[in-house]
A and B are shown apart, each in its own frame.
Chain A
Amino acid sequence: MKADTVFSPRRAWLYLAADLRLNFSSILSVTGGIAGLFFFMHFFRNPQEAPAALHANQLLLVFWLVLPAFAANAFTDIHKPLENRLSLTLPVSRTERFAAKWTEMTVVFALAVWIFYALLSAFLYIFDLIVMQGQSPFPIFLLPAADHLRIALGGILFSSVFFFGGVFFRKSQLAKTVLAIFSFLVGIFLVAACSFRVIFTQYPAGSVPSFMMEIIRKLGEGALHPLTANSGLFQLLFGLAFAIFFWFLAWLRLGETEAKGGLQK
């Protein structure tokens, strides 16, 4: 067995616990900040809004903004020159380190958010009952609805890019990952624009090529039904493939980062 694929659940668990303890104060600060923000926002909420939709909006913010920020900073301990010397000589393999960080940014984060949000909603409910004299109190969040699970899963899968960015970039991981995504999207847009320009160059402006007419006709007849009917499943499969790809890249890159990280000034 290769040394970097050695896996001991005990060591991975120890590393996870150590990492959470080391980052406890920053986790607490961010949690406090989010709680404050939600508390402030709850004064401006629409009382007529359905509870499920209200929770979905709040969870969207946590899973699609806060989680990527956390994921981008997941590996700062192995990037900081003077901190990483003790971190890199800790007896953990690359796979154990990866598994611990991955668990933190997926399962642990999701569970922590459910507990945190349930407690916060209960607090806001009691606050509204006591201070606001019970005028449409904040709805308590107990069990996540299907929509909430979809948001959480989407956020976790999306944050895989930031998780990779966290390993890949040595400094300013969040900003650099956002910039990289933006550059990639601009690149895709330019390639698409150029391709369209080349493909449609022979058609006069305003005319629609016959193969495009064929696609539109098939869509109208429902001939592409299996694709459109299962779009949720396709989205899920695409999302999973996307995330697994970036998690795998992160695992690969982690080996290189561990190798290059030692004794940097």
Chain B
Amino acid sequence: MIRLNSLSYAYGKKRVLENIDMELRPGSVCGLLGKNGAGKTTLLGVLGGLLFAEHGKVEVLGYDPAKRDPRMLSDLFFQPEEFELPALRGTDWTAIRRGFYPKWSETAFRDGMALLEVDPAQRLDRMSAGTRKKFLVGFGLATNARLVVMDEPTNGLDIPSKSQFRKLVAAAASDERAFVISTHQVRDLESLIDPVIIIESGRTVLQTPISLVSERLSTVFLTDVRGRADVLASDVAPGGFRALVPGGGGGGEIDLELLFHAAVDNPEKLSAALGRGDAL
């Protein structure tokens, strides 16, 4: 569904992505994690045909996204982090755009709006930023596009809306579709994403299925982490620390935030713990 080979991108002289390799199969909900400015939005822009790769090969749904083939775009929904919607009712805006998506489902749209608690009859320019984002999420999922690319979709959403978002994406995921969702708020996507890709300074520092992480690592509670060489990453918790350590797997829940810190701060140790030659 997505195949990137040595993708590089630069804004003028500023290199933003460097030799990115990636492969994504249908049925995945890929979490693209990284700090602000790590290159996530640029990578999504390349996938959506909004930015053109400087070097490397990019294939999305069997097309080169730089060619912006409408046959590819009708099977891809791109939700930017920042966007503006016109002074129209949500229903009117939907009416003029749904025709572009051959697999549009009115039922999915209505159900999505109901779950996200958005009234599509409201004027889009009068909706709050969070509601506008939820409206676009509902629209995007109703297109039934095979590839859905979302840039920071949970940014600006309140806590109940984040949970509604996770429910909706989980319900929409299928063996034929794939999602690429970027975020720097890693907890927002916990229990939803698989695989996970972590980008740091334009390079992929981790790309792995969550099942492998669950199998090889575990999140434990420790009263003290000093002197513990096996701790890959830790965070203060009441009465001690939550820590990511190798072994002890068995499908337990993985703290994505700790995994993220491990990938960024201790890539070699993490890669060794995952039993891979490198962190990629």
Report A1-30 CB contacts with B as 1/0, cut-off 8 Å: 011101010010010011001100100000
A96–B89 Cα distance when bound, in Å, is 26
Q: Which chain B residue shows the least CB distance to A85? A: B80
Which listed residue, B66, B68, B86, B99, touches A93 by the CB 8 Å rule?
Answer: B68
Which listed residue, B45, B66, B78, B86, touches A22 by the CB 8 Å rule?
Answer: B86
Contact across chains for B100 and A4 when beta carbons are under 8 A apart: no
A120–B99 Cα distance when bound, in Å, is 34
Contact across chains for B70 and A262 when beta carbons are under 8 A apart: no
Contact across chains for B99 and A96 when beta carbons are under 8 A apart: no
Q: How far does the Cβ of A210 sit from chain B's closest Cβ, in whole Å?
A: 59
Secondary structure dominating the interface of A: helix
Count of interface residues, chain A, beta-carbon cutoff 8 Å: 30
Contact across chains for B96 and A91 when beta carbons are under 8 A apart: no
Give the A-B contact count at a CB cut-off of 8 A: 86
Is B97 an interface residue, CB under 8 A from the partner?
yes
Q: How far does the Cβ of B54 sit from chain A's closest Cβ, in whole Å?
A: 13
A85–B78 Cα distance when bound, in Å, is 8
Is B221 an interface residue, CB under 8 A from the partner?
no
Is A258 an interface residue, CB under 8 A from the partner?
yes
A106–B88 Cα distance when bound, in Å, is 26
Is B82 an interface residue, CB under 8 A from the partner?
yes
* A residues 71-130 in Cβ contact with B at 8 Å: 80, 82-83, 85-86, 88-94, 96
Contact across chains for B82 and A6 when beta carbons are under 8 A apart: no
Is B76 an interface residue, CB under 8 A from the partner?
yes
Residues of chain B with a CB closer than 8 A to A2's CB: 67
Contact across chains for B71 and A25 when beta carbons are under 8 A apart: no
* A residues 124-153 in Cβ contact with B at 8 Å: none
Is B170 an interface residue, CB under 8 A from the partner?
no
Q: Which chain B residue shows the least CB distance to A18? A: B96
Q: Which chain A residue shows the least CB distance to B49? A: A89
Is B73 an interface residue, CB under 8 A from the partner?
yes
Is A259 an interface residue, CB under 8 A from the partner?
yes
Report B90-120 CB contacts with A as 1/0, cut-off 8 Å: 0010001101110000000000000000000
Is A212 an interface residue, CB under 8 A from the partner?
no
Q: How far does the Cβ of B21 sit from chain A's closest Cβ, in whole Å?
A: 22
A22–B84 Cα distance when bound, in Å, is 13
A16–B256 Cα distance when bound, in Å, is 45
Contact across chains for B68 and A22 when beta carbons are under 8 A apart: no
A91–B99 Cα distance when bound, in Å, is 10
Contact across chains for B73 and A89 when beta carbons are under 8 A apart: yes
Residues of A within 8 A of B (CB): 2-4, 6, 8, 11, 14, 17-18, 21-22, 25, 80, 82-83, 85-86, 88-94, 96, 258-259, 261-263
- A-B residue pairs in contact (CB < 8 Å), sample of 8: A11-B100, A22-B86, A82-B83, A85-B50, A85-B78, A88-B50, A91-B101, A259-B66
4 closest cross-chain pairs (CB), A and B: A262-B50, A3-B69, A91-B73, A3-B67
